């Protein structure tokens, strides 16, 4: 079972730590959609809703209340006055602008798998943004070297880097995402606390295991260091020492690629 959600709704839920509420909203929307952009649960009774959705009575009360507070849904009295209907806000109304991309999201019974699907969509958006930026940078470098007139976006990028040499030195041939940058996609919390680096690593492992992403370690050769110097000096966690060749390597941001499970979201965002 799949459903569609606007990109801005997913980003808002991620920033405000409401991915679990979004999960409940998506399940209710798909079960009560009935070819209508504004699904309605008539004369809402949590016992019946719990049986149909497979979500506990307590969780439904919590997340339906949160969805109403976020204006993803609204309470409307039934026409005969004998109950209250839950009306979900339509996709068109939730969009921030007309041409905003709409993502096709798979729905899972497991809460953990569903949250992972949402996080994969956020990573896919980051990958697509980087691809577009790399394409712009490559075009700008090419046009600068061939004395072609730059577009407004290309000139803005050139002005930011101040010279072609600086622009070329900052250009990479692959999509990268460091552990810190990866964590920053998901570290927004109500209490302002930041997740630990180990949690970011576990999150990446889960996305890899579920075949959403592929990652590859990138190393840069720094120089030679004798075993005695290595024992006497602490070179930090960013560096790796090869005891066989006595070479020091700097650990760069991981290369990241989208895998099969992310293909639908990736293609939708790329076409937007």
**Range with lowest mean pLDDT among 156-170, 172-186, 206-220, 254-268:** 254-268
- pLDDT at 192 exceeding the cut of 60: no
Of all residues in the chain, what percent carry a pLDDT higher than 70? 92
Q: Is residue 195 scored above 90 in pLDDT?
A: no
6 phi and psi angles, rounded to 5 deg: -70, 150
pLDDT for res 188: 57
**Residue 235: what pLDDT?**
66
Looking at mean pLDDT, say which of 13-27, 142-156, 186-200 comes out highest.
Answer: 13-27
49: three-class secondary structure by DSSP: helix
The answer to whether 24 touches 66, Cβ cutoff 8 Å, is no
Q: What is the pLDDT of residue 145?
A: 86
Q: Where are the domains of the chain?
A: 2-107, 114-216+258-271, 219-252
Q: Please, are residues 160 and 136 in contact by the beta-carbon 8 Å criterion?
A: no
Burial label, 68 (beta-carbon count in 10 A; 0-12, 13-18, 19+): middle
Summarize pLDDT for 61-77 with one digit per residue, the tens. 999 999 999 999 999 98
Where residue 51 falls among pLDDT bands split at 50, 70, 90?
A: very high
Which CATH code is given to the segment(s) 2-107? 1.10.10.10
Q: pLDDT-based confidence at 259, cuts 50/70/90?
A: confident
Q: Using CA atoms, how far apart are residues 211 and 257, in angstroms rounded to an integer?
A: 10
Question: pLDDT category, 234, cuts 50, 70, 90?
Answer: low
Q: Do 120 and 126 contact (CB within 8 A), yes or no?
A: no
The residue-averaged pLDDT of 124-132 equals 89
Average pLDDT for residues 95-117, to the nearest whole number?
A: 90
Average pLDDT over residues 6-29: 92
Average confidence score pLDDT of the chain: 85
Helices (H), 106-170: 111-145, 152-161, 164-170
Most confident range, picked from 55-69, 131-145, 258-272: 55-69
Contact residues for 221 (Cβ-Cβ < 8 A; gap 6+): 247, 248, 249, 250
Instruction: Note the pTM of the prediction, 2 decimals.
Output: 0.84
pLDDT of the residue at 78: 83
Residue 254 exposed, middle or buried by CB count within 10 Å (0-12, 13-18, 19+) = buried
């Amino acid at each position: 079972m799949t459903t569609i959600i606007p990109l801005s709704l997913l980003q808002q839920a991620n920033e405000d730590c409401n991915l679990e509420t979004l999960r409940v909203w998506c399940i209710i929307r798909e079960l009560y959609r009935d070819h209508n952009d504004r699904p309605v649960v008539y004369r809402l009774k949590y016992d019946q809703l719990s049986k149909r959705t497979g979500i506990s009575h307590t969780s439904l009360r919590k997340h339906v209340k949160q969805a109403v507070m976020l204006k993803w849904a609204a309470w409307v009295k039934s026409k005969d006055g004998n109950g209250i209907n839950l009306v979900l806000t339509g996709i068109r109304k939730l969009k921030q602008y007309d041409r905003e991309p709409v993502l096709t999201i798979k729905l899972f019974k497991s809460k953990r798998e569903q949250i992972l699907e949402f996080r994969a969509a956020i990573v896919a958006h980051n990958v697509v943004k980087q691809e577009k930026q790399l394409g712009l940078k490559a075009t700008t470098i090419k046009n600068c070297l061939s004395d072609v007139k730059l577009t407004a976006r290309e000139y803005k990028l050139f002005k930011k880097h101040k010279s072609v040499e600086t622009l070329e030195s900052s250009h990479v041939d692959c999509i990268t995402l460091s552990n810190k940058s990866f964590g920053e996609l998901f570290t927004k919390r109500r209490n302002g606390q930041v997740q630990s680096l180990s949690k970011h690593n576990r999150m990446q492992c889960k996305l890899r295991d579920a075949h959403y992403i592929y990652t590859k370690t990138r190393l840069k050769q720094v120089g030679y260091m004798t075993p005695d110097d290595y024992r006497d000096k602490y070179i930090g966690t960013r560096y790796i020492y090869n005891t066989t060749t006595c070479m020091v390597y700097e650990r760069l941001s991981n290369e990241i690629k989208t895998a099969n499970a992310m293909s639908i979201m990736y293609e939708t965002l790329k076409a937007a």
